[in-house]
């Protein structure tokens, strides 16, 4: 339920998260009520207009991220953060499962001071839920570069692909979401 102590938000807002492969993150977050759209792309590096191949090299500084457009009246940012912590292991540095490299780092890119404070508080609260330290970066959002068309809505368009069957589908099942 939205926090009524805050002034009402002015329309949709953005949230940007890196939690391993953007296909996995997109498949989870796009199912949440109040999420209007999820776009897979890149943020956090120093190469303008990077390609997937460049990002995969690990030399651009970019992370694979999803940029979420959400209605804060229907799903508060704090609720998105709860899902962020559930959908990946924030204690593994530059790795999620078999995906290894800085492009798979756990990161929250904040778009406002309010988001920064919420992310920091959420990270601190989540620390008790993990036996290892959380390595998630919390940093200001920079330029966002949308991924190539074939990365968008990847799971829904490629359910029979092996990565989708063996990595994404079990994650959705574990989280109680539609496969």
Active site residues per annotation? 21
- 155-166 per-residue burial string, b: 16 or more CB within 10 A, e: under 16: beeeeeeebbee
Q: Would you give the DSSP letter of residue 8?
A: P
Query: Helix, strand, coil % (nearest 5) of the chain?
Result: 35, 20, 45
Cα–Cα distance for residue pair 42/147, rounded to 1 Å: 7
**Residue 58 CB-half CA count within 13 A:** 8
Q: Which residues pair with 67 in a beta bridge?
A: 16, 39
């Amino acid at each position: 339920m939205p926090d009524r102590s805050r002034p009402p938000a002015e329309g949709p807002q953005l949230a940007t998260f890196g939690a391993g492969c953007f296909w996995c993150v997109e498949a989870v977050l796009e199912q949440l009520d109040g999420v209007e759209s999820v776009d897979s792309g890149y943020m956090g590096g120093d190469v303008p207009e990077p390609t997937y191949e460049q990002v995969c090299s690990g030399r651009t500084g970019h992370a694979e991220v999803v940029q979420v457009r959400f209605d804060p009246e229907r799903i508060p940012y704090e609720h998105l953060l709860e899902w962020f912590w559930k959908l990946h292991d924030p204690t593994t540095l530059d790795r999620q499962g078999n995906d290894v490299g800085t492009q798979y780092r756990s990161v929250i890119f904040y778009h406002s001071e309010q988001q920064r404070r919420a992310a920091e508080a959420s990270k601190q609260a989540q620390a008790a839920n993990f036996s290892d330290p959380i390595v998630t970066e919390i940093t200001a959002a920079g330029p966002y570069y949308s991924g190539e068309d074939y990365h968008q809505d990847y799971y829904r368009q490629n359910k029979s692909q092996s990565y989708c069957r063996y990595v994404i589908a079990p994650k959705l099942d574990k989280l109680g979401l539609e496969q």
